Amino acid sequence: MSWRFWRRAPLAAAIVASASACDRGTPPVRPVDAPATSAAGRPADQTAEREAERLRMVESQIQARGISHPGVLDAMRRVPRHRFMPEGQRASAYDDTPLPIGEGQTISQPYIVAYMTEALDPKRTDKVLEIGTGSGYQAAVLAELVGEVYTIEIVPPLGERAAAALTELGYTNIHPRIGNGYLGWPEAAPFDKIIVTAAPDEVPQALVDQLAVGGVMVVPVGRAYQTMTIIRKTAAGVVRTETIAVRFVPMIGKD
C-alpha cells in the first residue's frame, strides 16, 4: 500500500517516497534558453506525450513548494514519468501522491524527486551514484543534468524493467546494476554525488567512503519515519545536515 506524509519542515511540506502530480494551474512557458539536447544526449523534445500534464505538475507541485533550480525544473518537464510506471498506474502518473511499482516498492512523488535532485546541486560534470533504481525515473531525471549516473537496484525484476525503460527512451549515460546498495559501486568510485532512494537505519559507511571530497550525498535516514539528511564530505571530515521529515520504504541488503 502506498501513501503520503505531510509535515511542516524548514523548506517545504514533505510527502513520502512515491508519487504523481495534480492537474491544475496554467502550464509555465518553457525558458527560451532551454537546451536543445539534454546532458543524456537525447533530443529534448523526444516525446511530447502528456507534456501538458508534466508542465502542470512542475508548476503546481514543485515550483509552488519552493523548488527553483532551473535545470531540475526543466528536466522534470521533459522526462515522461508515465513511461516508468506499470501500465495499471500510468493514468495516475502525474498525480501528487506516491504510487506502487510492484515488488513492494514505490515511485517517489514528483516533489520528493525534485527536492532530492535540487539538494544534490547537480552539475554537468558530475558522476552520480544512485542507490535504489526502482522505476528508473529518478535516474532519468539525473541523467538530464549530469555526466554519468551509476544506479543500483537490489530487486532484479525492478532493475531489469527500469533498465529496459531507460534503454527504450535512449539514455546512454546511465549504467544500471543489480546488486546490494549498502556496498555501493567501489570500482567506479569516487562519486561527486550520491542519492539514496530507500531508507537505511544509518548512513552506510561504504557510501561515505565512496563519496569524493567536496561531494554531496542525499539520503533519508531512520526507521518507521525518516529525516532527509544531506552529507557533505570535506577535507576536514563529514558535515551532516537534517532537513525535512519523510517516509520511504526501508533500504534492504544490510546483512
pTM, entire model: 0.83
Query: Which amino acid would we find at residue 184?
Result: G
Which fold, 51-246?
Rossmann fold (3.40.50)
Predicted confidence at residue 15, as pLDDT, reads: 38
Where do the structural domains in the chain lie, given as residue ranges? 51-246
| 5: nearest Cα among 116, 109, 136 | 109
Residues of the chain with pLDDT under 50: 1-37, 43-45
Predicted confidence at residue 42, as pLDDT, reads: 55
Task: Report the first-to-last Cα separation within the chain, whole angstroms.
Answer: 25
Model pLDDT for residues 140-153, shown as the tens digit of each residue: 999 999 999 999 99
Model pLDDT for residues 153-165, shown as the tens digit of each residue: 999 999 999 999 9
Catalytic, 108? Answer yes
Predicted confidence at residue 254, as pLDDT, reads: 85
Query: Which amino acid would we find at residue 73?
Result: L
User: Of these residues, 20, 38, 108, 135, which one is catalytic?
Assistant: 108
